Amino acid sequence: MSAALQLTYAQAAALALSQAMDADPTVLALGEDLGRGGVFGQYRDAEGQPLVQRFGPDRVIDTPISESTIVGAAVGMALAGCRPVVELRVVDFALCAIDEVVNQAAKNRYMFGGQGRVPMVLRMPIGIWSASAAQHSQSLEAWFAHIPGLVVVAPATPADNHGLLLAALASGDPVVYMEHKELWPTTGDVTPGAVVPLGQARVARAGGDVTLVSWSRQLHTCLAAAEQLAGQGVNAEVIDLRTLWPWDKDTVLASVAKTGRLLVVHEAIQVAGFGAEIAATVAEHTDAKVARLGAPRIPVGYAASLEAEARIDAGKVTAAVQRLLRR
């Protein structure tokens, strides 16, 4: 295995995709803006060159602006033996292809007794995108975790965006792959070819007083909150879930058995968010004190003051932990 590289979150994903395309001629990518390297540069190599220059327009395919057509074509490609990577730019636009994702890709293997497989990766960037307002800033991971047949992944670091994308590309099932819109420029060590198994959480910070569970950009918020809490004498354990379905119940339950307290934190709206699934599972299996922290049930506003109301920052996490400790 190669030595670690310093890469951005976007470069780490591009490296995983290019490695998979080198190894398997059936892997291809299709979507809008791929020819120029993607809206966030996620289809450019570490030297900044668009991947289409390396693999050609037959494998890095620019499409019309029609998400239902893009996903429908990709489902057909997957059933015919290809392994397509579908770029949907932001999760908000994936709603234009919800039938193809939910009723075609997710259900095919079950409905046809395993005769058809849909090994595709659907890249749907999630989260608040500064000053991009209500139709470009949603976190809809709970929608897709609810659908049988879909794997749901939400990487938080460049290393995980590389390793989880490799795992997703090797999966025989449709994977909803949710990168955060504001993580693209973040940097970190990435070991080329290092696969991160699906369904395996990571303990990002050890602690004994309270368990914080999160994923995607909110992992970094929780780590910042853990530092604040440490200054207040509270030792928080932080778990990065990494995969929402399947999610790593064993790691979460083992941590909560030690701390006796759980706070699930996510950027998505708290009402019916995936945090409720984690909280309910922990409540069913332990006597721990359990709480959730998510966004209020409002659209994300364009004005900075309104956008701030929808953001979950380290101060809000710290305050929620202090409330949990007083219960």
Q: Where are the domains of the chain?
A: 5-190, 202-326
Is it the case that residue 2 has pLDDT exceeding 90?
Answer: no
pLDDT digits (tens, 9 = 90+) for 54-109: 999 999 999 999 999 999 999 999 999 999 999 999 999 999 999 999 999 999 99
Q: Where residue 264 falls among pLDDT bands split at 50, 70, 90? A: very high
| Whole-number pLDDT of residue 105 | 97
Mean pLDDT value of segment 248-260: 98
Q: Are 182 and 232 contacting, i.e. CB atoms less than 8 angstroms apart?
A: no
Least confident of 1-10, 53-62, 168-177: 1-10
Strand-strand pairing, 261-269 and 289-295? parallel
pLDDT digits (tens, 9 = 90+) for 126-169: 999 888 899 999 999 999 999 999 999 999 999 999 999 999 99
Question: pTM of this prediction?
Answer: 0.96
Is it the case that residue 51 has pLDDT exceeding 90?
Answer: yes
| Whole-number pLDDT of residue 327 | 85
Domain 202-326 = CATH 3.40.50.920: yes
Torsion sign over Cα 140, 142, 144, 145: positive
| Whole-number pLDDT of residue 1 | 58
**136 in active site:** yes
The DSSP call for residue 299 is P
Torsion sign over Cα 254, 164, 102, 65: positive
- From CA 235, how far away is CA 227, in angstroms rounded? 9
Q: Where residue 41 falls among pLDDT bands split at 50, 70, 90? A: very high
Element (H, E) at 78: helix 67-79
| Residue 20, CA distances (Å) to 2, 16, 46, 78, 197 in order | 15, 6, 16, 15, 16
Mean pLDDT value of segment 203-212: 98
Among the listed residues 254, 229, 257, the one whose alpha carbon sits nearest the alpha carbon of residue 325:
229
- From CA 178, how far away is CA 176, in angstroms rounded? 6
Average pLDDT of the residues of the chain: 96
The residue from 136, 180, 220, 266 that is catalytic is 136
Number of continuous H segments (helices) and E segments (strands) in the chain: 13, 14
All residues at 6 or more sequence positions from 39 whose CB lies less than 8 Å from its CB, including other chains: 33, 89
Fold of 5-190: Rossmann fold (3.40.50)
- From CA 90, how far away is CA 39, in angstroms rounded? 10
All residues at 6 or more sequence positions from 310 whose CB lies less than 8 Å from its CB, including other chains: 128, 137, 295, 296, 298, 300, 301
Q: Are 105 and 174 contacting, i.e. CB atoms less than 8 angstroms apart?
A: yes
Burial category of 194 from C-beta neighbours within 10 Å (exposed 0-12, middle 13-18, buried 19 and up): middle
Same-fold call for 5-190 versus 202-326: yes
| Whole-number pLDDT of residue 266 | 98
| Whole-number pLDDT of residue 46 | 87
Structure tokens at 60: 């890095």
Among the listed residues 130, 55, 122, the one whose alpha carbon sits nearest the alpha carbon of residue 89:
122
pLDDT digits (tens, 9 = 90+) for 267-314: 999 999 999 999 999 999 999 999 999 999 999 999 999 999 999 999
- From CA 74, how far away is CA 30, in angstroms rounded? 8
Mean pLDDT value of segment 177-204: 97
